[in-house]
Amino acid sequence: MKTGLCTIAFKDRPFEAVLDLAVEAGIDGVEPWGKPNHIPSSCSGELLAERNEAILSRGLVVSQFGSYANPSSPLFETEMEEALTAARAFGTNQVRVWAGRCGSAEADDAAWRQAIEGLCVFSERAEDEDLTLSVEMHGGRLTDTVDGCMRLIEGVANDALRMNYQPLSNETAEEAIGNAHRIAPYVAAVHAQNFVETGESRRSLIREGIIDYAAILQIFRQSGFDGFVEVEFVREEDPIGSLRADAAYLRTLCESP
């Protein structure tokens, strides 16, 4: 496993300044944030090439492209093409994507059908280009529960579709372990974040929260996961210190046998 930094963690800083922070923290790779001012939608090939050169010149790699392509969006076809273009420009074999515009409990059959059909198309395109799609596990989306994730995975039934793991809202430590066992065979990336209390009430350092990442990553490792474990957000009160601490902790976990 390798360490990564989602550039959204420092979304108010210039892109190259975030890359410098990643290097200083000893991070292996970055996930470029697919929003202004890091990677705007419909950005030119020239800008993508400049961003990629900035990454490579610092000895970093692109873990995955952090797109917002979502089959539930009316602009999905454009989002899909832009995500594929960015992945090619960055030389990465992975694209983060989304599913749905509401939580799984609120979604009707039409919403599920739209998401699954769109992800089937996207997965076929990804498969043709030797890419993996990692669907963000996130509150307010169809992937806000492991059951929702499994419904998508089973509905699409394409190995090019995997999951971007992160803790789910309101998980207890025990529930997180159980959910990790269920989702482990399908994890393509990890967005590591942690909280002092269940319900995401107050962000903590990754090593200090309720989610036991040593146990979670061991579960994933046993299922064959060997991808990037990424710092997605940092504590507002000490962002640079938090990045350094989180990167060092994740590096220790990634290097453990």
For residue 166, what is the domain's CATH number? 3.20.20.150
Domain that residue 115 falls in: 2-255
Q: Read off the amino acid at residue 71.
A: P
Helix axes of 45-56 and 76-90: crossing angle, nearest 10 degrees: 40
Give pairs for 23-28: CB < 8 Å, separation 24+. Answer: 23/58, 23/59, 23/60, 24/244, 25/243, 25/244, 25/247, 25/248, 26/247, 26/248, 26/251, 27/3, 27/60, 27/231, 27/247, 28/2, 28/3, 28/4, 28/60, 28/61, 28/63, 28/228
Q: What is the mean pLDDT of each run of 10 residues along the chain (257 residues)?
A: 98 97 98 95 93 98 98 97 97 98 97 98 98 97 97 98 93 94 98 82 90 98 98 95 98 93
Q: Is the pTM value of this prediction over 0.75?
A: yes
Which pLDDT score, from 0 to 100, does residue 169 have? 80
Provide the domain count of the chain: 1
